[in-house]
Structure 1
Amino acid sequence: MTIKNQKTIEFVNTCGCLVDEEKLKEAVLWYAKKPVMAKKKIFMHGKYPAVAIGKEKIHVHRLLMMYKEGRKLDYTEYVHHIDENKKNANYENLQIVYQRDHQSFHNKGKVFTEQHRERISMANRRRRGVRHRKRRVIPNEELLAMVGKGMSINSIAKHFGVDWSTIKSRLNDNLDIQEASNG
């Protein structure tokens, strides 16, 4: 169904989410960038309250923080509930933390046995998903010298054992740095 005119959004809160509905309405319209259905349901999606925008289900706390920041959040940015109540999505209860810091909030003061640490370690080894690779060290001087000699991006990539797109992005990074220092 195509909606041409935006009607006032009304929420049906089926999960007991604590949220400022006016801010949530603004966030939904900001995220959608086009008219959406007037009746929106706040429901549990996994362990957190969510709303559907088009065909996408998005957690309420992430949507509100994206709206507040005016940008989409990176996958390494987590929205932490300060009071640890997953249903409390009020602004003053939310803060953005990085992935590496988020777990420390929840584990602060806890003492793990050696057996528990081993289980965590095993679970992390078995976990699928994003694989973090080490960033290749490509010395800028050597890279710029090769470009200065007229070597192609593909031959430079073969020399360093990386994809051509890596070399291209490093060259773009170097140009940005040079422009910033000259400007």
Structure 2
Amino acid sequence: MITMLLAAMAFAPPAPIHCPVMGGTAKDSQPFVLYKGVVYGFCCGGCVGGFESTPDKFIKAYQGEGLLGFSAYDVVEMTVVDPKKAVAYSDYNKVRYYFLSKENKSKFDANAKQFAAVPENESFEAEGALVHSKLTGYRDYNGTRYYFCCEGCLPNFQKDAAAFAKEHGSAKAKVYRIELK
């Protein structure tokens, strides 16, 4: 599986999150990955490869206590959120979800299953601009989640989602290396 480094994320992980492979505490010195909008960390470099090849297997099999990861997005607003700037959070299915407002937390808490759901297919627009891009948000359309790399993507998507989807395509969700800055 091809992995990609996505830079310029403006946040640090909550403490502690646990390695989905071995269950130990994730270490800042080890790689972090983004999968289906959730950031996962690892206890050692040896765990990353296994997770990258079969992430769903490890997520489903994890039986430990605590958090496995945290959402890179306020899933109510569908926009990137910096945990340091979040005003609220909720833990659901071993993932911490951060929110830009208390209202968003309330909406999430009332229907967490709906907001936490992620389509199996995605289109990740940050792939073309690895270092200088900043993730901004996403929208779902026809069973695919379209992640945006810049403020210009969302208006194009909103103008004509079908044309945007045709131009950008979709594929099965995959794991991306991510740098937390």
TM over 0.5: no
Quick check: which one's helix share is greater?
1
Q: Taking CA–CA contacts closer than 8 Å with sequence separation of 6 or more, which of the two structures ends up with the larger relative contact order?
A: 2
User: What is the TM-score normalised by the length of structure 2?
Assistant: 0.29
Larger radius of gyration: 1
User: What is the TM-score normalised by the length of structure 1?
Assistant: 0.29
